[in-house]
Every structure is written in C-alpha cells, then in structure tokens.
Amino acid sequence: MIRQLVVLASGFLFAIGLGISEMTRPEKVLSFLNVFGDWDPSLAFVMGGAIVVYAAALQLAGRREGPKFGKEFHIPKIKEITPSLLIGSALFGVGWGLAGFCPGPALVASAALVEPALYFLPAMIAGILLHRYTVERRKTG
C-alpha cells in the first residue's frame, strides 16, 4: 500500500512540475524550439533542473543495494548509439516540434482536457502500440 502511495505522490509531484513549468502548453514548448524566431529559453532551465535531479538520483542509486519500494533499479544497460536509438530520437524530436507535446506533458494536459492534447494522446498511444507490434514481429520473425 505504501508503494502505491509513493508512486501516486511522485506522479502528482511530476504533474505539478510540468504544469508550473508550462510544459503542458504547446505554444510554450514551440517557442522554446523556435531558436531563429521569438525564442523563449526558459524551458532550458526546466531541462537543466531535470538533468541535475536525474544525475543525483543515478549517483545515489549506484551507492544503494536496491530501491526501497521495488525489486531493482531500472538503469539502461546499453551504452552504444544504435540506428534504432537515432531513428527513435528523430521521431520523438519531430513529433515534439510539430505537436508541442511529449508523453508526460501530453498525459497531464489530457487530464486537464486541453484540446490539442486530446488529439495528440491517441496518436501517441497508436505509435507506442505500432512500435511494440513491429518489435514483437521482428523477434518472432
């Protein structure tokens, strides 16, 4: 029960942070990506803050035997840059640039019934399902 409460509180805190940073507003994100126009650099501070928190958490995880509310830490094991990584990153960037949403902010904005997010979310879910389907087909090949 305590694990579910920690997960719920973490998700709520993350959603509040996305809202405060305005990452749930596509126009804010798109103005950040518009480096040759009316550029708004404020999201760079949000991303920088996220990197600092992740780096600290990664260091802490390396010193611990395991997580308090789980079986293991889920730290990526693959270190090399693969074509799959490059293609996925490019697709993510293009989608973010076109829609102004990435998965976390899209979920938060959908919960708040922000209309563009309500269109983006089903397309994102379809993309996730299509990716899983193609990966599974390649495995059974």
pLDDT tens, residue by residue, 77-88: 888 999 988 998
Q: Domain total for the chain?
A: 1
Per-residue pLDDT, averaged over 70-96, amounts to: 88
pLDDT tens, residue by residue, 22-39: 989 999 989 998 999 999
- Residues with Cβ within 8 Å of 121's Cβ and at least 6 positions away in sequence, in order, are 106, 107, 110
Residue 88: other Cβ atoms inside 10 A: 12
Range of the domain at 27: 2-140
Q: Are 95 and 33 in contact, with CB atoms under 8 Å apart?
A: no
